[in-house]
Structure 1
């Protein structure tokens, strides 16, 4: 609008949760401020929209100070105690740690794009350890060693490495004709190869 407010800013200010979700899924600029310097997260916190603030935070919205203060200060100054308490509790969370907000599709997208299981305070894996729901279950599965069943939860470089190594195992299998007289040995070799891959494929590059 004439004051520089984007659709995401206005939806956040008005507490339109599903509009905010659709805009974020479509790639709206999450931290674009209006002409006064207020961000969508600041607007949501000032108006006391807890679920909107959680959703924005799960997409990595900045909590840095605006010309009017931080989102946390805005919630406190307006008496939104539940929201202020949540902002304090979630200060160290990464987007993947927002288990209560993440859909399974969003959690899968973050895992496949390389989101760390071990960054933040508490980490996504620590929060998922005793958590319920699909997002927590996906994070626990992603923390296990690589296997064909968990392949889809790994980042693109790890998936590419897994595909290359699996192909190499099958090429060895075919080269030595282990699928005929040596069928039993061939199956054992493939099983052994998959077990080894669990240790050869790292989810996160240190």
Structure 2
């Protein structure tokens, strides 16, 4: 009902609370189909950013509904965003949601266009977060890596710190004049991968 009536903030609250994104009514109408049928572009964008299915209902696809009911701007957006993953919805994502997707392991390189390609030169916090997540691991990008990568980085940093403390290394005592911790900052960018390709 919230999607059918275009109640964007209500839809947002329901999705944040874990509402089933593709739960259809008894007649087969999905939330995305109802939003598209009634021309609610911002609701459709929000649903799509949560991964709403664009599959056909008994009444057709959401794209067909928008076209048939004369919602040209919505129909055009649905066509343009066909290959997007949830992370590619940069204009719809809040910084908190973009961070959550990145920390959950959302790919920067999947979809067409990819989230990283959409973020290149894009404005807004979500685009900036995607660009920062694409950089090699560093203390500044650490929080945007998936849990396994963050745990690996923490383990490596702790290991380097323990080596440094155990052997009392400093810049003068380390091989080639490089302190163990400086070495760590140089190496971790290569040792910690955001995605397995």
Q: What whole-Å deviation, never above 9, does each CA across 1:63-110 have from its counterpart, x for those lacking one?
A: 000000000000001000000000000000000000110000000000
Residue 18 of structure 1 aligns to a residue in which SS?
helix
Tell me the matched-pair count. 197
Query: Where has structure 1 moved over 3 Å in runs of 4 or more?
Result: 179-187
Instruction: Please state how far the C-alpha of 1:168 moved relative to its aligned partner.
Output: 0.8
Q: What whole-Å deviation, never above 9, does each CA across 1:28-49 have from its counterpart, x for those lacking one?
A: 0000000000100000000000
The 5-angstrom pairing of residues 153-164 of structure 1 reads: 153-164=144-155
Compared CA separation, residues 180 and 87, structure 1 to 2 (3 A):
closer
The answer to whether the 8 Å contact 2:171/2:179 transfers is no
The answer to whether the 8 Å contact 1:178/1:185 transfers is no
Alpha-carbon separation, structure 1, partners of 2:177 and 2:147: 29
The answer to whether the 8 Å contact 2:170/2:179 transfers is no
Alpha-carbon separation, structure 1, partners of 2:65 and 2:171: 71
Q: Which runs of 5+ in 1 are unaligned?
A: 1-9
Alpha-carbon separation, structure 2, partners of 1:112 and 1:185: 36
Q: Superposition RMSD on alpha carbons, in Å?
A: 1.7
TM-score normalized by the length of structure 1:
0.92
TM-score normalized by the length of structure 2:
0.96
Q: Which runs of 5+ in 2 are unaligned?
A: none
Compared CA separation, residues 186 and 25, structure 1 to 2 (3 A):
farther
Instruction: Please state how far the C-alpha of 1:189 moved relative to its aligned partner.
Output: 2.2
More moved, 180-189 vs 50-59: 180-189
Say whether residues 1:111 and 2:102 are aligned partners. Answer: yes
Alpha-carbon separation, structure 1, partners of 2:171 and 2:122: 47
